[in-house]
Structure 1
Amino acid sequence: MNTIHHLGHSQSERILWLCEELGIPYALKRYTRDAVTRLSPPELKALHPLGAAPLIEDGDLLLAESAAIVEYLIAVHGGGRLKPGPGHPDFAPFLYWFHFANGNLQPVMLRRMTLGRALPADHPVLTATQERLDKVLALVEERLGQAPYFAGDDFSAADIMSIFSLTTMRLFLPIDLTPYPNIRAYLERIGERPAYRAAMAKGDPELTPLLV
């Protein structure tokens, strides 16, 4: 059985959710952020040099990085489910949006959060970063007006990769989603998934998912 090392309010929620969607059994070890620094506790640093979550243990394997873990679990334990193959018409959109989550969406949100704490509101670098975030969110809004899920008609791992930034990350960088009706409708659809609700209840039982 896989062991998931989960840091509360972090991208490791993706791994719990994936396992719930695929019915992959797992043992859960929860960790809490430092109340002052909001960083990982020493127990996670003892497992991995970066002290980050998620981490999974599968036999002798210790694997970090949420995208790598998602791909590993789908390939090794999930029978390839939630990932369209090369012959599927949604294959290229899946690849794009799967990598968009950690390649564009999450980085620009982190950059906006960090610069917002370090620079005055009228600083040109902060302004440029906000403009980039607005463009990224507009692209997500456009996509979710074209299809019910990121890859297309079917729910996939691209959705599992994307949701953290649109929900839990807003604990760190509040964003008003009122101008984005397609994103809000999408989050409502995700919130109806039993596997998502189960994963969040197990991993972050004190948190009400930010689905609005």
Structure 2
Amino acid sequence: LNKSGAFTVLWLLDHLRLDHEIIPYRRDAGFRALEELKKLHPLGRSPLLESEDRQTAKKKILPELEYIFQYVLKHFDKTDSLDKEDNDKSEESQWYLYYVEGSL
């Protein structure tokens, strides 16, 4: 989790009160992904989110922080806690997402 956008994903899952499990994957001294992570993503990218479709039980591995964030909001934010209809809230959540990727 260190030095990745995983904390943003954890914040979102906690904010939405979604059950989740953290599976840590280590990197080598040169910060390269080990084989166990490359089995999930060919470039060893993280964070990753595994999601299971509630209707089909098909599992998906989702890469890339922005995609994970938007996927979780679309499929699991049933109360619109990060209200998409309220422009100020929507813009603020987008700003924080891109701030994490670009500025930290």
TM-score normalised to structure 2 length: 0.76
Counterpart AA for 1:82: L
Contact 2:27 2:34 in 1 (8 A): yes
CA deviations on 1:52-92 (whole Å, 9 max, x unpaired) are 0111111211111110100111111122332432xx3427x
Cα deviation for residue 15 of structure 1 reads 0.8
Contact 2:28 2:34 in 1 (8 A): yes
Counterpart AA for 2:96: D
Structure 1 residue aligned with 2:37, among 38, 41, 44?
A: 44
Alignment map for 1:56-205 (pairs within 5 Å): 56-59=49-52, 60-79=59-78, 80-85=80-85, 88-90=86-88, 94=91, 151=92, 156-163=93-100, 165-166=102-103, 169=104
Stretches of 4+ aligned residues off by more than 4 angstroms = none
Cα distance in 1 between the residues matched to 2:61 and 2:35 = 17
Cα distance in 2 between the residues matched to 1:8 and 1:90 = 30
Aligned positions, number: 97
Instruction: From the CA coordinates, give the structure whose radius of gyration is larger.
Output: 1
Q: Identity rate of aligned residues, in percent? A: 29
Seen in structure 2, the aligned counterparts of structure 1 residues 64 and 159 have a Cα distance that, compared at 3 Å, is: same
Contact 1:18 1:157 in 2 (8 A): no
Seen in structure 2, the aligned counterparts of structure 1 residues 20 and 157 have a Cα distance that, compared at 3 Å, is: farther
Gaps spanning 5+ residues in structure 2: where?
A: 53-58
